[in-house]
């Protein structure tokens, strides 16, 4: 009787695990079929030859799911007009469709007007899924803090050229002089000792 109860308990646990596993697989399959939007935002500073700085912003939107999404809207309004001039691009853009596994990109080029560190907020992406009535909202990754119009130490190009050209020769001559001094120093002290002994 104890053995049959043990077998019955084992069978109930097995059935429960089987049901749990099948529901987990079903959930994974459902999530794999649904869209999964990832937005990556990055910004970099470029210094032009005339000393002007430009901030290049690039936002990549990935649909890592298998379902197509529609009416994609991107808004990146974290660049205030009192701090930046827009050179090219817009702070918003729309796409009609983004298929599963596809990527779209958007770029903005700005010129900073205010000196100091700047931390931008994530961009906002909204999109529509056919099975949902309400648009879905996603946020991009944040950017690293930017130090716009930062002071840089002036470089003396003549000094840099001289160091680059004659640095190795100067190092070699200094090493030879140091070795000659080390070798000559003991012989001088020996000569002084010899003179003392003669006296």
φ, ψ of residue 152 to 5 degrees: the values are -120, 145
Its CATH architecture, for the domain 34-148, is: Sandwich (2.60)
For the record, the structure tokens of 128 come out as 């529509």
pLDDT of residue 50: 83
Q: What is the mean pLDDT of each run of 10 residues along the chain (199 residues)?
A: 49 47 40 78 90 93 92 95 94 95 95 90 94 92 86 50 54 57 57 54
Distance from C-alpha of 19 to C-alpha of 21, rounded to nearest angstrom: 5
Domain boundaries, the chain: 34-148, 153-194
For the record, the structure tokens of 5 come out as 């109860």
What value does the CA radius of gyration of the chain take, rounded to a whole number of Å? Answer: 35
pLDDT of residue 57: 96
> How would you class 59 by CB atoms within 10 Å of its CB: exposed for 0-12, middle for 13-18, buried for 19 or more?
buried
pLDDT of residue 169: 57
pLDDT of residue 36: 87
pLDDT of residue 191: 52
Could you tell me which residues come within 8 angstroms of residue 142 by beta carbon, excluding any fewer than 6 positions away?
41, 119, 120, 121, 122
* Listed residue (128, 61, 135, 130) closest to 93, CA to CA: 61
């Amino acid at each position: 009787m104890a053995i049959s109860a043990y077998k019955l308990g084992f069978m109930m646990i097995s059935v429960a695990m089987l049901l749990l596993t099948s529901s987990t697989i079903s959930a994974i399959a459902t999530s794999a079929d649904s869209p999964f939007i990832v937005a990556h935002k990055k910004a970099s500073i470029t210094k032009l030859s005339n000393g002007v700085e430009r901030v290049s912003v690039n936002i990549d939107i990935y649909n890592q799911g298998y379902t197509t999404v529609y009416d994609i809207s991107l808004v990146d309004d974290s660049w205030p007009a009192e701090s930046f001039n827009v050179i090219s691009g817009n702070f918003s853009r729309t796409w009609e469709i983004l298929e599963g596994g596809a990527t779209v990109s958007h770029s903005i080029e700005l010129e900073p007007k205010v000196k100091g560190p700047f931390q931008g907020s994530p961009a906002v992406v909204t999109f529509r899924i056919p099975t949902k009535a309400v648009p879905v909202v996603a946020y991009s990754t944040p950017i690293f803090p930017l130090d716009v119009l930062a002071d840089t130490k002036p470089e003396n190009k003549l000094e840099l050229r001289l160091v680059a050209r004659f640095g190795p020769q100067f190092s070699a001559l200094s090493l030879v002089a140091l070795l000659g001094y080390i070798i000559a120093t003991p012989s001088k002290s020996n000569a002084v000792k010899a003179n003392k002994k003669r006296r």
